[in-house]
Amino acid sequence: MMGNKRAFLIVGNRAVTGKLNLNDLPGSAGRMDIMCRCIASALFLSHDVRRDVEVYLLLLGPPDPPKAVRVVGGKVRYMAPDERNIGGILSKALTVKVDKGWKQSTPGVYVARKSLEELLDELIKKYEVYYLREDGKDIRDVGFGENSLFILGDHIGVREDMEIVIEERCREIISIPTRKLQADHCIVIVHYELDRKQREGV
C-alpha cells in the first residue's frame, strides 16, 4: 500500500523563535529562508496546494527555544509560495504565547512548545518515520506504508544527540543518491518518488 498522507519535519538548528526580520531571513533569522523554502516545496503544486501534506518545523534558535510549528496543507489559507510571504506567517506564529498544546495563529498554522522527543512521540502515532541522510537506503528500494513522515536537517544537518532520538523512532534511514542536496530539494524529490510509486500502485 502506498502513502496517502505525507509529512515533513525540518530541524532548524539556529532558526529564531521570536519575531522575524523579513528582510534578513538567511541572517539574523537563523536561516529561516530554508524553513520557508521547505514549506513551499512540501505544500505547493503549480496553482494548487497538496492538501494531504503537513509540515513540521522544529525551531531551536533564540530567544525562546524549542518551538514547533505545524502547517496543515488542507487548512492553510492566505499563503503564497514565496519566502517573504511564508516568513510573515511564521513570524506571526512565533509571537503567540506557547505551551505544550498546539495553538492556531493563522488558518492551518499552529505553534507549540515541544522538544524533538515530544514532537516525535506525538507523530509516530500518525506516521511511519523516515530520516533522510546521505548514507541511508536508496529511496527507490523502500516500500512505504500509508502515512509517512520524513525528517530532514537544515544547512547544519541534525545534531548527534538528536539523531539518537530520531533513530530510536524511525523505521528507516533513507537517501537520495548520489549527492548531498539542499533540504527543500530533497522534499521535491521525495514527493516525486512517492507520486510515481502511487501512480504505479506500488
Binding site for ligand SAM (CB under 6 A): 132-134, 152-153, 155-158, 175-176, 179-183, 186
Set of cell numbers at residue 158: 541534525
CB of 131 to ligand SAM, least distance (A): 7
In terms of CB distance, is 135 or 200 closer to ligand SAM? 135
CB neighbours of residue 46 within 10 Å: 5
In terms of CB distance, is 10 or 98 closer to ligand SAM? 10
Q: How distant, in Å, are the alpha carbons of 37, 38, 50, 79 from that of 109?
A: 16, 15, 15, 10
Instruction: Write down the residue that cell numbers 538567511 correspond to.
Output: 26
In terms of CB distance, is 27 or 74 closer to ligand SAM? 27
Going by C-beta distance under 8 Å and a sequence separation of 6 or more, which residues neighbour residue 148? Answer: 3, 5, 6, 7, 127, 128, 129, 130, 194
Q: Is 62 exposed, middle or buried (0-12, 13-18, 19+ CB in 10 A)?
A: exposed
CB of 185 to ligand SAM, least distance (A): 8
In terms of CB distance, is 79 or 132 closer to ligand SAM? 132
Q: Is the peptide bond before 62 cis (omega within 30 degrees of 0)?
A: no
CB of 32 to ligand SAM, least distance (A): 15
CB of 75 to ligand SAM, least distance (A): 26
In terms of CB distance, is 113 or 159 closer to ligand SAM? 159
* DSSP at 97: P
CB of 132 to ligand SAM, least distance (A): 4
Set of cell numbers at residue 86: 511564508
